Amino acid sequence: MNSKFLTDKVALVTGASRGLGKAIAIALAAEGASIAAVARSEEALKETLEAIRSAGGRAEPFPVDVADGAAVETVVEKIASLFGHVDVLVNNAGVTRDGLLMRMTSEAWDTVLNTNLKGAFNFTKPVGRLMVRQRAGRIINISSVIGLIGNAGQANYAASKAGLIGFTKSVAREFASRNITCNVLCPGFIETDMTRDLSDDLRKKLLERVPLQRLGQPDDVAAVVAFLCSPASGYMTGQVLTVDGGMVM
């Protein structure tokens, strides 16, 4: 018997070209899932695809800007016709455009909200339609501890991530009767490209707030996403899980 719990399942992961999304795609593929990998360019997805394929898994690239609703609809149609079904959706793609509110441009606000929050709406609607027909599915949204506690200089990012939490709970309620769960993760400070440019001073200050006394790694988050796709979490929906070394408790 094959003990991998995602054997014959299909997982769609946005922002799969690097960082958390890459680790999540690889972790779900290791559990047997075929991966529909989304990022803005096919080129950027190469490393993720190679890592999955060289381990014997299946992964296909689907380049699209998650903020472009019409393009996302077309991509989801392509994914559905290639794989036949989508069992897991991980809305992970995200960006930052930091700045104090008084200096924040509308463009910086719109880019972050349209990518981080509307991007999740753009994918959840057409994928949700498939899952409702299947009467099964797992949706995992990647928010942030910043969506829980706010951060000076990140009003746009915090709003998008707090929005994802309300979005998750509403989707969880709407889809529960169709055996579809929807949960949201709030990672803390995880070492990826997004956090690479922080100054040593800020890094030190952030670490002082982490009881487990280390920065998170993408695999720390990927393992919890895998758990939320597993039979072990079948009775959990609408939940907010922090993966932050104890930063917010």
Q: Is-catalytic flag, 235? A: no
For the stretch 156-186, what's the b/e string if a residue is b when 16 or more beta carbons lie within 10 angstroms of its beta carbon?
bbbbbbbbbbebbbebbeebeeeebbbbbbb
Is the backbone of residue 157 left (phi > 0), alpha (psi -120 to 50) or beta? alpha
218 has which bridge partners?
A: none
Pick from 30, 40, 53, 169 the residue near ligand NAP by CB under 6 A: 40
Q: Which stretch binds ligand NAP (CB under 6 A): 91-99, 121-129, 132-140, 166-174?
A: 91-99
128 scored as a contact of ligand NAP (CB under 6 A): no
**Calpha distance 190→220 (Å, rounded):** 9
**Calpha distance 225→228 (Å, rounded):** 5
- List of residues 6+ apart from 220 with CB closer than 8 A: 187, 190, 243
Q: Which is nearer to ligand NAP, 136 or 223 (CB)?
A: 223
Report CA dihedral (222, 225, 229, 235) to the nearest 10 degrees: 150
Under 8 Å between Cβ of 139 and 107: no
Q: Which is nearer to ligand NAP, 131 or 146 (CB)?
A: 146
Q: Which is nearer to ligand NAP, 138 or 161 (CB)?
A: 161
Report CA dihedral (21, 46, 77, 64) to the nearest 10 degrees: 70
Pick from 102, 103, 177, 193 the residue near ligand NAP by CB under 6 A: 193
Q: Which stretch binds ligand NAP (CB under 6 A): 79-87, 187-195, 198-206, 224-232?
A: 187-195
- List of residues 6+ apart from 196 with CB closer than 8 A: none
192 scored as a contact of ligand NAP (CB under 6 A): yes
- List of residues 6+ apart from 81 with CB closer than 8 A: none
Q: Which stretch binds ligand NAP (CB under 6 A): 26-34, 87-95, 171-179, 227-235?
A: 87-95
Pick from 18, 78, 85, 125 the residue near ligand NAP by CB under 6 A: 18
Q: Which is nearer to ligand NAP, 96 or 233 (CB)?
A: 96
Q: Which is nearer to ligand NAP, 34 or 115 (CB)?
A: 115
Q: How far is the CB of 72 from ligand NAP (least distance, A)?
A: 9
Query: Catalytic positions, please?
Result: 157
User: Which chain residues interact with ligand NAP by CB under 6 A?
Assistant: 14-21, 38-41, 44, 65-67, 92-95, 115-116, 142, 144, 187, 189-190, 192-195
